[in-house]
Amino acid sequence: MRKILKMLGTVFFIAMLFTGNAAFASSGSSVETDVIDGQSVELGEQVKVTATEAQEKVSIDKAIGPDAAVEPDCIACVNFSRHATKISSYGEVYKFVKYLTSTWQGADNYRWSSTTTTSLTVSGSADATIKDTIKVQLGLSGSYSKSYSVTISIPADPSRDNRLALYGDFNKYYVKYQEKMGGAVVHTSYHYAYEPTRDQYLRVVYR
């Protein structure tokens, strides 16, 4: 009986040892990385802020409602219209916006108080007209801005080259854009649209 209890005790000890090691291994946080301008970087400390939607004037006339055809300012372009259709929604994505500091340095702290803005972006070499068509017809937000009444302080590791960057949460969509003349399609292109949300992040980036 004693031998059996001793064996069970040994098995229990070994099981606890492996369980403890597994728990310890899983508790370690993974390093977040990103690729910015073709360079792999490590994401560090961040501060989340809440922005306010900006009121913008769309430059295209007759762009009323999600089903409206957007017509250009061209008298000769009779029966010409633009159309945007949402194909897929990918939910919210965390996306780099821009660097807030101009150079890499060994800073130990960043202090920020200037207004930050995240804006609607459209991939695939979309010009302002395509962007406005997608924004208006799909009812997307154009931009969010954050004004700081107090200075935000973000710590950084001075032993490593770092910069301060702006990130944001965006709603991602896959969109079809078309131009029609007299009802016939004369141009079709596909784009990813990134709609800004009120959530912005001041984040330290390391190289």
pLDDT tens digits for 91-138?
Answer: 999 999 999 999 999 999 999 999 999 999 999 889 999 999 999 999
Q: Are residues 148 and 162 in the same domain?
A: yes
Measure Cα distances from 34 to 57, 96, 172, 184 in Å.
Answer: 34, 9, 18, 43
Question: What is the pLDDT confidence band of residue 192, given thresholds at 50, 70 and 90?
Answer: very high
**Whether residue 24 is found in the same domain as residue 48:** no
CA atoms of 101 and 177, how far apart (whole Å): 36
Number of domains in the chain: 2
Least confident range from 113-122, 151-160, 181-190: namely: 181-190
Question: Which residues constitute the domain of residue 10?
Answer: 1-30
132 and 202 part of one domain: yes
Q: What is the mean pLDDT of residues 158-171?
A: 99
Integer Cα distance of 146 and 142 in angstroms: 14
Question: Could you tell me if 174 and 87 are in contact, meaning their C-beta atoms sit under 8 angstroms apart?
Answer: yes
Coil, helix or strand at residue 2:
helix
Residues 73 and 159 in one domain: yes
Nearest to 71 by CA among 60, 86, 55, 56: 60
